Amino acid sequence: MLDLSRAFGPVGGRAYTVLPDGSVRLDRAKRRVKPFTLLTEPESITVAAATDMTGGFFADQLPVPAIMEIDGKAPFEARYISFHARRTDTGVLNDQFTVKIMDPQERPLLMNREIHVRTLAGGFGSSLGAAANAGGRPLVLPETFFMDPEQGGRALVVEFRNLNTFEIAIRLGIHGVRYTDFRAYEKALREREEMFGRGRIAYPFFATTDRHVRLTASQADTFDLRLSDDSDAELVKLARYSDGNFLARIVEMDGKRYLDNAGQDTTGGQSGVFMDFMFGDAEFPFIPYETAYWERGTKLQVWLEDLSAAVNNVWVTLVSRKIRYGESIFEQR
Partner 1 sequence: MSLPTYIRRRRVADPAEYLHRAFGERQQLTDRAFWHRVLQLHKGWEEDYEGFYINPVKRITRPFWLLADRAADQALVVGASAASAKIPFTIDTSGHYEVAYLMFQATSSNFLVEVFDAGNNEAGFQNREIHAVTVAGTARRPFVLPESWVFNVEDAPRLLLVRFTDRSGSSNTIRWAFHGRRWFHKDSDGKVQEAVFRRFQRRERLFSYFLGLTGIPTGSTEDDNLPAIRLTADQAVLENRAPYFISTDEADTELVKLNFRSDGAFEFQLRETQSNGRILSNGFIRNTMGMGDGEFPFVFPEGYLLERNHRLLLELRDLSSAQNDIYATAIGRRLQYA
Half-sphere exposure of 312 (CA within 13 A, CB side): 24
Residue 261 Cβ, how far from partner 1 at the closest point, in Å?
6
Residue 315 Cβ, how far from partner 1 at the closest point, in Å?
15
Residue 312 Cβ, how far from partner 1 at the closest point, in Å?
17
Name the burial class of residue 105, with classes exposed (0-12), middle (13-18) and buried (19+) by CB atoms within 10 angstroms of its CB: middle
Residue 117 Cβ, how far from partner 1 at the closest point, in Å?
17
User: What is the end-to-end Cα distance of the chain in Å, rounded?
Assistant: 54
Report the distance separating Cα 82 and Cα 91, nearest Å.
Answer: 19
CA 13 and chain centroid, separation: 28
Residue 110 Cβ, how far from partner 1 at the closest point, in Å?
19
Question: Looking at beta carbons only, is 184 or 235 nearer to partner 1?
Answer: 235
Question: Looking at beta carbons only, is 90 or 261 nearer to partner 1?
Answer: 261
Question: Looking at beta carbons only, is 180 or 291 nearer to partner 1?
Answer: 291
Question: Looking at beta carbons only, is 166 or 258 nearer to partner 1?
Answer: 258
- 142 Cβ contact list (under 8 Å, min separation 6): 204, 234, 236, 237, 319, 320, 321
SS3 24: strand
Residue 70 Cβ, how far from partner 1 at the closest point, in Å?
28
Residue 53 Cβ, how far from partner 1 at the closest point, in Å?
28
Report the distance separating Cα 121 and Cα 140, nearest Å.
Answer: 9
Report the distance separating Cα 169 and Cα 46, nearest Å.
Answer: 4
Question: Looking at beta carbons only, is 155 or 233 nearer to partner 1?
Answer: 233
DSSP-derived pairing of the beta strands 115-116 and 97-102 = antiparallel
Instruction: Kindly state the helix (H) or strand (E) to which residue 119 belongs, with its residue range.
Output: none
Cβ(312)–Cβ(172) under 8 Å? no
Question: Looking at beta carbons only, is 46 or 219 nearer to partner 1?
Answer: 219
Cβ(285)–Cβ(228) under 8 Å? no
Query: Which residue ranges make up the site for partner 1 (CB under 8 A)?
Result: 126, 128, 194-198, 232, 234-235, 238, 257, 259-266, 271, 273-281, 284-286, 288-293, 295, 323
Question: Looking at beta carbons only, is 3 or 21 nearer to partner 1?
Answer: 3
The vertex-282 CA angle with 45 and 178, nearest 5°, equals: 65
